[in-house]
């Protein structure tokens, strides 16, 4: 059991390193040169870089750490060691790329040039601006793929990238607007902030397209096609698992009583439906709370009701 747990943790941290590295590559080589801001702390960091030349890594970590502290004070210690590690790894990899690669785009249409031209974008090459002809569509698709794989791998490691997710969770607590809606609002506002840095309506549009591609890839990396899973847990530690679901995850569920076929003993079972992030947390903690639990996870193509998709209105 100890060897299995150690192997699982090693794999999780390897996922974390890989995801953080991919995130940095996507941001420095694809997102930043095009002045896109696909939500999150690093979306704002890209805007600050375009406005004042601040390093993305420095701006990102200066926002992430206070948000983690505030989130812990307001929401409690929910984020875990792995999220803290990702908050450290992402700016480290980003800084390395900033000082070695710079801010040059990997995808562009033609060579770089020094004189400003119509319909061109710029990136900072030291103290000077270098201009290039952009290929918005291809860059947005590739950036969305890289971001999606990066964040999906980070989720698979049992962590989050921190940032605007914490803002959304805090606002969700006090406004009672669904967390998914709150994330969409916060990320969309960050995307619109690109208009402050560069007066080009294409930038927030491409940023939102990037967010859409990213979200679909995250689902594929973490869950495959489905977004939600229905979980049945048969356990003798019903109170411990129930308390974790209610208090730590702030989710609801249903408890059933049943009889085992083999010994005829009375057993209790928990029924709960979760999104991809909560499922990762639940599985890792069931092992800790009751290693002998029996868990059945079913793909759910559509979930309706409180906390999920609204029930359809009756037809007249």
Biggest CA–CA distance in the chain, Å, is 82
Q: Is the dihedral of CA 252, 282, 223, 156 positive or negative?
A: positive
Averaged pLDDT for residues 30-48: 93
pLDDT digits (tens, 9 = 90+) for 155-181: 888 787 777 777 877 887 788 776 657
Backbone phi and psi for residue 254, each to the nearest 5 degrees, phi listed first: -135, 140
Is the pLDDT at 16 greater than 90? The verdict is yes
Averaged pLDDT for residues 29-37: 95
User: Is residue 128 classed as helix, strand or coil in its secondary structure?
Assistant: strand
pLDDT attached to residue 55? 95
Backbone phi and psi for residue 124, each to the nearest 5 degrees, phi listed first: -85, 125
Per the listing, tokens 């506002």 go with: 189
Q: Which two tokens stand for residue 133?
A: 């002809």
pLDDT attached to residue 159? 81
Averaged pLDDT for residues 55-75: 90
Higher pLDDT, 236 or 184: 236
User: Is residue 50 classed as helix, strand or coil in its secondary structure?
Assistant: helix
Q: Which two tokens stand for residue 254?
A: 């249903």
Domains of the chain: 2-222 (no CATH), 228-300 (3.30.70.120)
Cα 202 to chain centroid distance, Å, stands at: 24
- Cβ-contact 274, 298 below 8 angstroms: no
Burial 57-88 (b: 16+ CB within 10 A, else e): bbbbbebbeebbeebeeeeeeebeebbebbbe
Averaged pLDDT for residues 87-112: 95
Average pLDDT value for the chain: 85
Per the listing, tokens 């969305």 go with: 144
pLDDT digits (tens, 9 = 90+) for 208-241: 999 889 888 887 887 666 567 889 999 888 889 9
Whole-prediction pTM: 0.74
Higher pLDDT, 63 or 164: 63
Q: Which two tokens stand for residue 61?
A: 């970590």
- Cβ-contact 39, 218 below 8 angstroms: no
Averaged pLDDT for residues 108-112: 90
Averaged pLDDT for residues 174-199: 81
pLDDT attached to residue 197? 80
User: Is residue 79 classed as helix, strand or coil in its secondary structure?
Assistant: coil
Look at phi and psi of residue 71 and say left if phi exceeds 0, alpha if psi is from -120 to 50, else beta.
alpha
- State percent of the chain over pLDDT 90: 33
- Cβ-contact 88, 65 below 8 angstroms: no
pLDDT digits (tens, 9 = 90+) for 117-135: 666 888 888 878 899 999 9
| SS3 per-residue string spanning 229-273 | EEEEEEECCHHHHHHHHHHHCCCCCEEEEEECCCCCCEEEEEEEE
pLDDT attached to residue 315? 42
Cα 124 to chain centroid distance, Å, stands at: 28
pLDDT attached to residue 118? 65
Higher pLDDT, 49 or 197: 49
Secondary element (H or E) of residue 153: helix 136-156
pLDDT digits (tens, 9 = 90+) for 257-301: 877 777 777 778 899 988 777 888 888 888 888 888 888 988 776
User: Sorting pLDDT into bands at 50, 70 and 90, what band is 98?
Assistant: very high
pLDDT attached to residue 299? 77
């Amino acid at each position: 059991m100890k060897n299995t747990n150690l192997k699982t943790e090693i794999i999780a941290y390897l996922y974390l390193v890989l995801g953080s590295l991919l995130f940095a590559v996507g941001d420095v080589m694809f997102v930043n040169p095009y002045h896109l801001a696909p939500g999150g702390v690093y979306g704002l960091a890209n805007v600050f870089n375009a406005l004042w030349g601040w390093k993305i890594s420095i701006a990102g970590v200066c926002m992430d750490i206070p948000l983690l502290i505030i989130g812990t004070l307001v929401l409690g210690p929910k984020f875990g060691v792995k999220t803290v590690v990702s908050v450290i790894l992402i700016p480290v990899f980003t800084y390395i790329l900033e000082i070695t690669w710079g801010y040059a785009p990997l995808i562009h249409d033609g060579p770089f040039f020094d004189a400003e031209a119509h319909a061109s974008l710029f990136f900072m090459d030291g103290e000077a601006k270098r201009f290039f002809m952009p290929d918005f569509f291809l860059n947005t698709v590739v950036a969305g793929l890289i971001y999606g794989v990066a964040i999906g791998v980070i989720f698979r490691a049992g962590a989050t990238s921190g940032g605007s997710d914490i803002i959304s969770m805090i606002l969700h607590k006090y406004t009672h607007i669904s967390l998914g809606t709150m994330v969409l609002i916060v990320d969309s506002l960050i995307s619109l902030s690109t208009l402050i840095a560069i007066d080009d309506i294409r930038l927030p549009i491409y940023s939102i397209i990037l967010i859409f591609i990213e979200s679909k890839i995250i689902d594929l990396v973490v869950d495959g096609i489905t977004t939600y899973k229905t979980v049945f847990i048969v356990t003798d530690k019903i109170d411990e698992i129930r308390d974790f679901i209610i208090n730590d995850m702030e989710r609801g569920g249903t408890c059933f009583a049943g009889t085992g076929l083999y010994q005829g003993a009375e057993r209790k079972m928990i029924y709960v439906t979760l999104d991809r992030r909560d499922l990762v947390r639940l599985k890792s903690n069931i092992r800790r709370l009751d290693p002998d639990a029996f868990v059945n996870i079913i793909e759910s193509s559509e979930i309706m009701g409180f906390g999920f998709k609204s029930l359809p209105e009756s037809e007249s």
